[in-house]
Amino acid sequence: MTTEQPLSEVLDQILIDEETLQARIAELGAQISRDYAGVNNLLLACVLKGGVVFLTDLMRHITVPHTIDFLAVSSYGQNIRETTGIVRIDMDLRCNIDGLNVLIVEDIIDSGTTLAYIRRMLQARNPASIKICTLLSKPSRRIVNVDIDYIGFDIPNKFVFGYGLDLDELYRNLPYIGVARPGASAEVS
Ligand code: IMP
Ligand code: MG
């Protein structure tokens, strides 16, 4: 069983509150709806697990017809706050994306390693187009350059959690983006 630390032990500050998040997500949805107007084969490809909360809110602001699918990747180990640089596909998309307009939906782009890898992998499958939508981006951390089409918020180089993003797999249910206290660990040890 997991015993979660009280939030006061791990949360340094709220970086983006719920209202600000939701307002920006509505804007992104409207912009995506304008950009894909008339398109009838849009696929939202959500990167699990972190992207799932963002996806479910975002898709309700997208007015063009679309389908959704999921893939899961990992580049982090438990308790490691830095990318290993090695990306592993834990679960692939179920659908064939040949000829589809694919919009990758991701929680955060940090070094860029994960997204560059996913884009390259999906590009080889002959989609009509690929674009990237990320809720958060840490531009100062970029190692691999990736073109991002939609960014919710640029954020500073701090470890954040909540709204789909985890701290040691916990706290994904928070409705806001919080900054972790330096050295914070989610489980009571
Ligand atoms: P990248 O490959 O370095 O761009 O890392 C991307 C992945 O690392 C994201 O999809 C997240 O899962 C994770 N990640 C990066 N920064 C954070 C953070 O501040 N909080 C939680 N997860 C993060
Ligand atoms: Mg992620």
Please list the pLDDT of the chain residue by residue as tens digits (189 residues).
Answer: 678 889 999 999 999 999 999 999 999 999 999 999 999 999 999 999 999 999 999 999 999 999 999 999 987 654 456 666 678 899 999 999 999 999 999 999 999 999 999 999 999 999 999 999 999 999 999 999 999 999 999 999 999 999 999 999 999 999 999 999 998 888 776
Q: Is 85 left (phi over 0), alpha (psi -120 to 50) or beta?
A: left
The residue to mutate among 78, 107, 117, 141, having the most atoms of ligand 1 within 8 angstroms of its beta carbon, is 107
Residue nearest to atom 3 of ligand 1 (CA): 111
* Domain ranges across the chain: 18-156
Pairwise CA distance, residues 123 & 117, whole Å: 10
Instruction: Give the pTM.
Output: 0.94
Tell me yes or no: is domain 18-156 CATH 3.30.1180.10: no
Ligand nearest to the CA of 145: 1
> Does the CA dihedral 98-102-105-108 come out positive or negative?
positive
Q: Which residues line ligand 1 (CB under 6 A)?
A: 50, 75-76, 83, 106-114, 159-161, 165
Cβ burial 37-73 (10 Å sphere, 16+ → b, else e): eeeebbbbbbbbbbbebbbebbeebbeeebeeebbbb
